[in-house]
Chains A and B, each alone.
Chain A
Amino acid sequence: MIANLANLFRYRGLIQSLVARELKARYRGSVLGFFWSFFNPLLLLTIYSFVFTVIMPGLHPPDIEPFALFMFCGILPWTWFSSSLIEASSSLISGGNLIKKVLFPAEVLPIVNVLANMVHFFFGLPILVLFLIYYRHPPDPTDLIWFPVTVLVQLIFTTALGLLLAALTVHFRDLRDILSNLLTLWFFATPIIYSIQSAPGLSKRVLDFNPMTHIIVSYQEILFYPGQIGHWKWLLAMGAASIVLFLGGYWVFDRLRDSFAEVV
């Protein structure tokens, strides 16, 4: 397993070109092309803003202003997380040809999905910057050094889950459907369209068990809330846990590796 992990480093050229291919192929043939990377989060945000400011203004917590900016800080990384998992879970099945007919390192497939979605996440950042400028809501520069850390933690966490899901979905196809429903639940169980402070006592403790809570709250503290980041201990703990989860996920993947070519 350790040797295989070390090999991952060798595949960087392969991973790099596959990520590039994924991005190129994604919007090939569409009129707006790459602009969809910007528009998609923007449209999603517009919908949520419409719901929370026009249709149900009562649900909009009064202390969080501007609310659209707050939501955007959560929606952007959440989109990265959820689309990565959905794509990664079926990556081995859709890449079956490669696994069955070519000598190909299978773990590259879910990793490429996670990375390609990370690039989309990066493309969404300029929009976030525009929002910050528009609302005259500059983040604390010292907080910003935590931003790459948060991205890294999310990357490791997402990759770990992606590997695990990809390997298990080969054997249990039902996981794909379970996952899409689970992600909807997970979205509402994460403080994205509400703030963790507004959650009542018991549910806050429940939210603390959700790893995504800490990642999203970190983004919010870095980009939205003024003042020092208060969540860094949680974030680092999450980072450590993610590394353990990644090793566990990779171990499961490695154990099931030989079965892929037969079962896919």
Chain B
Amino acid sequence: MRRLSDAFGDTKDTKDTKDTKEDRNVGVIEAPVNAIELTNVSKIYRKYTGRQFATLKSALLQRSIMRDLQPDETFPALSDVSFQVRRGSTYGVIGRNGSGKSTALKLVAGITKPTTGTVRVEGRISALIELGAGFHPEISGRENVFINGIMLGLTKRQIQQRFDEIVDFAELREFIDAPVKTYSSGMYMRLGFAVAIHVDPDVLLVDEVLAVGDEGFTHKCLDKFAEFRRRGKTILLVTHSLNLVERFCDDAVWLDAGHAKSHGDPKRVVGAYLTAVEQSEEQLLAETTAKAVDEATREAQASHAGEGAAEQPADPTSNMFQATEGRWGSREIEILDVVLLDAGGHASFVFHTGEPMTIRFRVRAQAPTDDFVFGVGLFNAEGICCYGTNTYIEEMTPEHLIGEAEASFSIDSLDLVEGTYKLDVAVHKRDGYPYDYHRLLYTFRVKSRTRDVGIYRPKHEWRFSPNVHFKP
């Protein structure tokens, strides 16, 4: 409650704030280095199951109030997290959904208390956690600005002084006397943001609020943050925008399932985070692929047993561009497995634009044959064929295949834009009679740090005449 009461003016009798004041008199150099300090902080949320919803009456009758108030299960939102934010620096918190980012922010804001460990914050806080949380829909924007400002710890006079600035920042001058319930969600957020930012805090907590408003407003918010930085204020930023963290933050922490996985230089932290995201994506893709292959195989077997003939589209080429996954064929030559290999020869499901990729498939021929064609096709998420080829098109004449064999299709440079792709792999006769056709069963992702669009990224280079300059 210390900080809470500080927010409401009259700070003389609270010791910590007095210290801060003296520090300010002495000068910034001797002020505490850290504006925010989390030391071995754990936060355990209690989960209540069935019994919690027993009525008070039954609880009284069974004298089980105390027992019912005990949690049945606990959920650690943060486990032993420590980090320090230097005064005047901007600190980024990244991590997946549910990793404890918002919990950390709420602890710093003082909205919830840590289960163990300590949270220390110097100076007045303003938390942009939920914008306009205290707005009352029935009353006007003007009145809401005043009440919201008072809630955030300003006095009436201070709000009066800043009122015009707030309204101009929110770009709501003509609507300020309309009830807030008539506002669009963007207007609502803008007004909430404007009030919160004009509290003039020493420490600003931001939880993914830059997503509000249009492009122009986002820019304005970023400018405001930059101004805060110049004035030596501390900013704690929780965001999914890694770009923002790299560009804006002096330090960052990556939270994963309540643990601080890595902290320090934002570039390094973001890099570590991205690697982990790729790994889990890879796992997910592996599962998707395994499931697709499994299902298609089972379906093919079922129809095989039922009709005695392989189910096959009337004309496989006719629906080349219609993407429905499946597996068909006589299995005289069977595809045993398909793996995608990265530059190092490791099986992978996530590749980067420009890296090499090899599609390796193992097959088994039940009887010796001289009529076989290996083919591959690459499709993007919309089902558009990005590339397709086979050994027949490339004028390779089959001669002999017996037993287990291996075929590899190597791409030197995967020149595709970022996205999810699916793969066709097939073995068939030269006339199209399918031995084993795997349609869209294999999924992989291509990642790219460039946000270019389209399907194909040709190798390219920009050149300019000497009078054209770009920032390095």
Chain A interface (Cβ < 8 Å from any Cβ of B): 3-4, 7, 10-11, 13-14, 17-18, 21, 24-25, 28-29, 97-105, 168, 171-175, 178, 258, 261-262
B415: CB under 8 A from chain A?
no
Residues B151 and A98 in contact, CB atoms below 8 Å apart: yes
Residue from A17, A98, A172, A262 in contact with B150 in the complex, judged by beta carbons closer than 8 Å: A17
What residues of B have a CB within 8 angstroms of the CB of A13 in the complex? Answer: 8, 150, 155-156
Per the 8 Å Cβ criterion, residues 311-347 of B in contact with A are: none
Interface size of B as a range:
35 or more
Known: A10-B10, A25-B136. Is A104-B151 also a contact (CB below 8 A)? yes
Residues B127 and A103 in contact, CB atoms below 8 Å apart: yes
Per the 8 Å Cβ criterion, residues 142-188 of B in contact with A are: 143, 146-147, 150-152, 155-156, 179
Residue from B129, B133, B143 in contact with A21 in the complex, judged by beta carbons closer than 8 Å: B143
Known: A102-B127, A103-B3, A178-B57. Is A24-B143 also a contact (CB below 8 A)? yes
What residues of B have a CB within 8 angstroms of the CB of A29 in the complex? Answer: 138
Residues A262 and B112 in contact, CB atoms below 8 Å apart: yes
What residues of A have a CB within 8 angstroms of the CB of B4 in the complex? Answer: 7, 103-105
Residues A97 and B130 in contact, CB atoms below 8 Å apart: yes
Residue from A10, A25, A105, A262 in contact with B139 in the complex, judged by beta carbons closer than 8 Å: A25
The 15 sampled A-B contact pairs (Cβ below 8 Å) are: A13-B150, A97-B133, A98-B134, A99-B111, A101-B129, A102-B129, A103-B3, A103-B7, A105-B4, A168-B56, A172-B56, A172-B59, A178-B55, A178-B57, A261-B112
B1: CB under 8 A from chain A?
yes
B283: CB under 8 A from chain A?
no
Residues A10 and B9 in contact, CB atoms below 8 Å apart: yes
Known: A97-B134, A101-B129, A174-B55. Is A7-B147 also a contact (CB below 8 A)? no
B46: CB under 8 A from chain A?
yes
**Alpha-carbon distance between A100 and B45 when the two chains are bound, in angstroms:** 14
What residues of A have a CB within 8 angstroms of the CB of B110 in the complex? Answer: 103
Residues A178 and B134 in contact, CB atoms below 8 Å apart: no
**Alpha-carbon distance between A11 and B106 when the two chains are bound, in angstroms:** 22
What residues of A have a CB within 8 angstroms of the CB of B138 in the complex? Answer: 24-25, 28-29
Residues B147 and A174 in contact, CB atoms below 8 Å apart: no
Residues A14 and B56 in contact, CB atoms below 8 Å apart: no
Give the 7 A-B CB pairs with smallest separation, nearest first: A101-B130, A25-B138, A172-B56, A101-B133, A174-B55, A28-B138, A10-B8
B191: CB under 8 A from chain A?
no
Residues A172 and B179 in contact, CB atoms below 8 Å apart: no
What residues of A have a CB within 8 angstroms of the CB of B129 in the complex? Answer: 101-102
B109: CB under 8 A from chain A?
yes
Q: Write the nearest CB–CB distance from B76 to chain A, whole angstroms.
A: 13
Mask, B217-250, CB within 8 Å of A = 1, is 0000000000000000000000000000000000
B69: CB under 8 A from chain A?
yes
Residues A102 and B113 in contact, CB atoms below 8 Å apart: no
What residues of B have a CB within 8 angstroms of the CB of A99 in the complex? Answer: 111
Residues A4 and B1 in contact, CB atoms below 8 Å apart: yes
Known: A25-B139, A172-B55. Is A261-B111 also a contact (CB below 8 A)? yes
**Alpha-carbon distance between A168 and B9 when the two chains are bound, in angstroms:** 30
Residues B150 and A102 in contact, CB atoms below 8 Å apart: no
What residues of A have a CB within 8 angstroms of the CB of B10 in the complex? Answer: 10
**Alpha-carbon distance between A173 and B56 when the two chains are bound, in angstroms:** 9
Given contact pairs A101-B133, A102-B134, enumerate 16 new A-B contacts (beta carbons under 8 Å). A3-B1, A7-B4, A10-B8, A11-B8, A13-B156, A14-B151, A21-B143, A24-B143, A25-B138, A25-B139, A28-B139, A105-B1, A171-B69, A178-B55, A258-B113, A261-B111
What residues of B have a CB within 8 angstroms of the CB of A98 in the complex? Answer: 133-134, 151
B204: CB under 8 A from chain A?
no
Residues B5 and A7 in contact, CB atoms below 8 Å apart: yes
Q: Write the nearest CB–CB distance from A235 to chain B, whole angstroms.
A: 31
What residues of B have a CB within 8 angstroms of the CB of A104 in the complex? Answer: 4, 134, 151
What residues of A have a CB within 8 angstroms of the CB of B106 in the complex? Answer: 261
Q: Write the nearest CB–CB distance from A36 to chain B, whole angstroms.
A: 15
What residues of B have a CB within 8 angstroms of the CB of A21 in the complex? Answer: 136, 139, 143, 147
What residues of B have a CB within 8 angstroms of the CB of A178 in the complex? Answer: 55-57
**Alpha-carbon distance between A58 and B92 when the two chains are bound, in angstroms:** 77
Closest to B110 in A: A103
Residue from B46, B134, B156, B179 in contact with A28 in the complex, judged by beta carbons closer than 8 Å: B179
Residue from A18, A100, A103, A261 in contact with B147 in the complex, judged by beta carbons closer than 8 Å: A18
**Alpha-carbon distance between A211 and B103 when the two chains are bound, in angstroms:** 44
Closest to A104 in B: B151
Residues A17 and B146 in contact, CB atoms below 8 Å apart: yes
What residues of B have a CB within 8 angstroms of the CB of A258 in the complex? Answer: 112-113
**Alpha-carbon distance between A262 and B103 when the two chains are bound, in angstroms:** 11
What residues of A have a CB within 8 angstroms of the CB of B69 in the complex? Answer: 171
B125: CB under 8 A from chain A?
yes
Mask, B46-83, CB within 8 Å of A = 1, is 10000001011101000000000100000000000000
Q: Write the nearest CB–CB distance from B51 to chain A, whole angstroms.
A: 12
Residues A14 and B109 in contact, CB atoms below 8 Å apart: no
Known: A101-B111, A102-B129. Is A7-B46 also a contact (CB below 8 A)? no
Closest to A100 in B: B111
**Alpha-carbon distance between A100 and B127 when the two chains are bound, in angstroms:** 12
Closest to A254 in B: B1
Residues B45 and A262 in contact, CB atoms below 8 Å apart: yes
Greatest chain B CB density within 10 A among A4, A174, A178 is at A174
**Alpha-carbon distance between A178 and B57 when the two chains are bound, in angstroms:** 9
What residues of B have a CB within 8 angstroms of the CB of A17 in the complex? Answer: 146-147, 150
**Alpha-carbon distance between A108 and B439 when the two chains are bound, in angstroms:** 64
What residues of A have a CB within 8 angstroms of the CB of B3 in the complex? Answer: 103
What residues of B have a CB within 8 angstroms of the CB of A97 in the complex? Answer: 130, 133-134
What residues of A have a CB within 8 angstroms of the CB of B125 in the complex? Answer: 103
What residues of B have a CB within 8 angstroms of the CB of A100 in the complex? Answer: 111, 130
**Alpha-carbon distance between A222 and B179 when the two chains are bound, in angstroms:** 43
Q: Write the nearest CB–CB distance from A12 to chain B, whole angstroms.
A: 10
Q: Write the nearest CB–CB distance from A257 to chain B, whole angstroms.
A: 8
**Alpha-carbon distance between A103 and B1 when the two chains are bound, in angstroms:** 9
Known: A28-B179, A102-B129, A104-B151. Is A174-B134 also a contact (CB below 8 A)? no
What residues of A have a CB within 8 angstroms of the CB of B59 in the complex? Answer: 172
Closest to B53 in A: A173
Residue from A4, A101, A103, A174 in contact with B57 in the complex, judged by beta carbons closer than 8 Å: A174
Q: Write the nearest CB–CB distance from B301 to chain A, whole angstroms.
A: 52
Q: Write the nearest CB–CB distance from A89 to chain B, whole angstroms.
A: 12
